[in-house]
Amino acid sequence: MLKIKNNGFTQHYFFSSKKSSAGFTLLELLVAMGIFSLVILAATWIFISGLRYNTIIWDQLQGQTDGRRAVKEIMDIVRKAEESSIGSYSIVSAEDNELILYANVDADSYREKVRFWLDDTTLKRGITKPSGDPLGYSGAEDVVEISHYVVNIAEAVPLFEYYDETYTGSETALITPADVASLRIVKVQLEIEKDPDKTPIPLHVESVASVRNLKTN
């Protein structure tokens, strides 16, 4: 209460310490701003995390698609491997991370020399067409990349495994380099991982195919 004398009269003024129903104290305003900031930070973190997880999922799906496409291409060519156009045996060499064979992979009647191999983390395919007179396979090799982020070498997983005619699914693979005369079945397996820091384990894609022209039963 405030007393003021004016011309002999005393006037009394009263001030209420309570805030109005529509107002905020400074402390309440600071608390509200703090809560709002926390909500914004949480929402931003959730949004960024969602984008990161979506990217990981997309990379895995893309890797799976690329891996399956590469495996299918290899298996299709393995199945139709046959004697070369100059009479060489259908399988040239069979190692852990490289397979060389002959197969007709285009529209002509000649059999091309096809090589699949792992170059660090890139799976490549090379094709050499027969040419010259006399016919031979000394020409330039046409090389393309058919799959990326293949981590078989880092994971100590062979790209190829080979089996003989007794294969039923549980046998031990042939020792590499495999004896091509005994080889009847080829297994290809890809371990794909774009970013080891974001995925717990590599994506595994595999398939098994028999060389049709070498089947004995």
Question: Which one-letter amino acid corresponds to residue 53?
Answer: Y
How would you classify residue 197: left for phi > 0, otherwise alpha for psi between -120 and 50, otherwise beta? alpha
pLDDT of 192 strictly over 50: yes
CA 159 – CA 68 distance, rounded (Å): 14
Query: 0.85 exceeded by the pTM?
Result: no
In this prediction, residue 2 has a pLDDT band, given cuts at 50, 70 and 90, of very low
Can you read off the two tokens belonging to residue 48? Answer: 């960024």
Which one, of 62, 65, 66, lies nearest residue 54 by Cα? 62
Which one, of 163, 160, 148, 141, lies nearest residue 195 by Cα? 148
pLDDT of 205 strictly over 50: yes
Bridging pattern class, strands 112-119 and 98-103: antiparallel
pLDDT digits (tens, 9 = 90+) for 144-171: 999 999 999 999 999 999 999 999 888 8
In this prediction, residue 30 has a pLDDT band, given cuts at 50, 70 and 90, of confident
Q: Residue 15's pLDDT is what?
A: 47
Min mean pLDDT across 27-36, 159-168, 169-178 is at: 27-36
Strands (E) across the chain are located at 2-6, 9-13, 91-95, 98-103, 112-119, 122-128, 142-147, 160-163, 185-192, 203-210
Better-predicted residue by pLDDT, 3 or 133: 133
Q: What does the mean pLDDT of the chain come to? A: 84
pLDDT digits (tens, 9 = 90+) for 77-103: 999 999 999 999 999 999 999 999 999
Average pLDDT over residues 182-207: 87
pLDDT digits (tens, 9 = 90+) for 44-74: 777 676 666 666 666 666 777 888 899 999 9
Residues 128 and 142: beta-carbon distance below 8 Å: yes
Min mean pLDDT across 8-12, 35-39, 165-169, 179-183 is at: 8-12
Which one, of 217, 214, 215, lies nearest residue 90 by Cα? 214
Instruction: Give the burial string for 33-47 (b: 16+ CB within 10 Å, else e).
Output: eeeeeeeeeeeeeee
CA 217 – CA 138 distance, rounded (Å): 35
Q: Residue 123's pLDDT is what?
A: 96
pLDDT of 23 strictly over 50: yes
pLDDT digits (tens, 9 = 90+) for 111-144: 999 999 999 999 999 999 999 999 999 999 999 9
Q: Residue 217's pLDDT is what?
A: 58
pLDDT of 198 strictly over 80: no
